[in-house]
Structure 1
């Protein structure tokens, strides 16, 4: 594959959400099949999300449970994250890497004291659950794919989940904005006033869990994700992606834990500081009425230097995108995407 090949997304989900019966709901396709991309007014839905008033249907995401007394130490040994001593209702972002250090699975993980809950991309659950099950050996753990019975809702929230609230995974990014230790500075990051969390609820109670709150679709949530510079498995990644390229080193990798699969690559590139590609945020020319497609080539003059991985229309900033470009692409260059000018903001330093 070339440096600009488009990564393949995980297989589509198979569950149709009952929230698609809400007024003006428009169903997604492909990776987003089974849930709504919007409910008639994506810009308003974005504003409601930013204000902490709306909720997003993420019930197409897969859910896995890991039970047994060895679950945290076992997951600690398999993933990029430090999980020993994880307290109930604390959450972590973790990755499973290939032996050569390429990103294979993304885990949003929270433990309730007896069970570790993992949410992952739509369609990625069977492969992840199958791999985990094969890695149990003689340890006291049990792995189950429970997407048929459990679903996910996304919402902005200000704090970790506590007793009496639904179990939730919380995005660690807001806690790291401004942190200059170990991972490098986050100056220039747009930040966010609220943490994003994924609430895990019984699938049969999905409608009741939303209650009378406004619904926001995936277009709104994805635009805010792009604005927050957050990578997503299968969109910002392909079979060659290493954590340094997409800034996952900051949130999903613990640099001082023991051995895990792919650690040698993580340590080597971290010490040398030269990942072959880098994630970049793009402000696109907003004079047109259509957005470039994901996978569109990114040009520096007449030279292809990368491709779009995610694109959205922000209610304040207009058309925005994430792209993977070659590491040595000059950060000062104005790039082109489908004939539109694209101004770079550095996420991963070249």
Structure 2
């Protein structure tokens, strides 16, 4: 959406900044809103997101050749996630995809929509596909529960944290114990002109709430957990966004080489922050192990149950039991880490022992 959301006119609305500019950070009671969102009784305005549509009979087979995911046989209403990578395997685009039988809908960060549409347009060649940046015409609304009244809307259901077909988990916890299971997630596509009418008097939560739940679910977000060097292995994105057995695509060589023979140089970690300061460090704050810089905080939030929490990307070599320090300017925050990506992730060929359990059957 290119203009601020009309829902910013709701009482108490405070506009978010950065990637979420144009929608509400909160409506006056962030923790109450977060509880309601977690309980499935509130929805969150995500109309700062971008929407790219791909139509035409070749759309799915064509997207399949370009991306990390197997989407040729994607059924109407079925949701998935795909990555478009550089030749070096670095993440360039991360798209939520759902097909309605005639259109493949790609939900992306707002800043990604125009570049993604431009990239796809350059790659269409003689294939029967049409690409459009439809961000101005569509809004996105998030929820932790299916909304019965919105059954006619196109909805993307986050596959996270389930390991998709052809995927692989780099987490040290079993899938049935993954904290992401506590955050089922739906993103509904609503005609922008009908956003207020569709939401009506349903309770609203701001993006501070959805971000806190995302962090607690260990769910990476492009533009937050990524930089120009990020490869999918570092963020455990092989579980939902990569099919390890599909055909050739740009970046596949790096995906296979790191997974089978190497290790990702960095790993995503969940941080439980010391809450005694009653403040939060900023995203971008340095992560220290002793006096040594080992990474960067990527996302921070106040969780309604756990208190201050964060995601960070740190060096693979950091010991999993090491107590870390987040340094925001001169303000230190003690941080206990929970493993998201195992320190020995990768190198699955001949794997016998280690944090990981081995390949998914």
Q: TM-score range by the shorter chain?
A: over 0.9
Q: 1:123-173 CA deviation, whole Å, 9 max, x = no partner?
A: 1111000000000000000000011111111111259x9994311111001
Distance 1:245 1:56 in 2: 28
Distance in structure 2 (CA, Å) of the matches to 1:163 and 1:232: 25
CA contact (8 A) 1:335 1:342 kept: yes
1:23 equivalenced with 2:22 (yes/no): no
**What aligned pairs does 1:126-275 form with structure 2 within 5 A after superposition?**
126-157=114-145, 164-176=151-163, 182-184=168-170, 186-187=173-174, 189-275=178-264
Q: Does the aligned pair in 1 maintain the 2:273–2:308 contact within 8 Å?
A: yes
Where has structure 1 moved over 2 Å in runs of 4 or more?
Answer: 161-165, 174-177, 179-189, 191-194
When residues 86 and 235 of structure 1 are mapped into structure 2, their CA distance, relative to the original with a 3 A threshold, is same
Matched, 1:346 2:335: no
Counterpart contact for 1:106–1:120, Cα < 8 Å: yes
1:182 is displaced (CA, Å) by 3.8
How do residues 322-333 of structure 1 correspond to structure 2 at under 5 angstroms? 322-333=311-322
Matched residue SS, 1:191: helix
Which runs of no fewer than 5 residues in structure 1 stay unpaired?
Answer: 1-12
Q: Deviations over 1:266-317 (max 9, x none)?
A: 0000002410000000000010121000000000000000010000000000
**Residues 345 and 100 of structure 1: CA distance in aligned 2, closer, same or farther (over 3 Å):** same
Q: Are the equivalent residues in 2 in contact too, given 1:174–1:195 (CA < 8 A)?
A: no
For the pair 1:84 / 2:77, whether they are aligned, the reply is no
> 1:50-129 counterparts in 2 under 5 A?
50-129=38-117
- TM-score normalised by the chain length of structure 1: 0.92
Q: Calculate the aligned-residue CA RMSD, in Å.
A: 2.0
**Equivalents in 1 of 2:95, 2:284: separation in Å?**
24
Partner of 1:280: 269
2:55–2:102 CA contact under 8 A, matched in 1: yes
Number of equivalent positions: 336
Displacement of 1:85: 1.3
Kept in 2, the 8 Å contact 1:89–1:162? The answer is: no
- Residues in 2 aligned to 1:164 and 1:27: alpha-carbon distance in whole angstroms: 29
Q: What is the SS of the residue equivalent to 2:247?
A: coil
- Structure 1 match to 2:30: 42
Q: Would the alpha carbon gap of residues 119 and 271 (structure 1) be closer, same or farther in structure 2, given more than 3 Å must change?
A: same
Tell whether the 8 Å contact from 2:163 to 2:169 is kept in structure 1 after alignment. no
* Secondary structure of the corresponding residue to residue 127 of structure 2: coil
Contact 1:336–1:342 (8 Å) recurs in 2: yes
Q: Do the aligned partners of residues 273 and 349 (structure 1) sit closer, same or farther apart at CA in structure 2, a change above 3 Å counting?
A: farther
Give the 3-state SS of the residue equivalent to 2:254 in structure 1.
helix
Q: Cα distance, 1:233 vs. partner?
A: 0.4
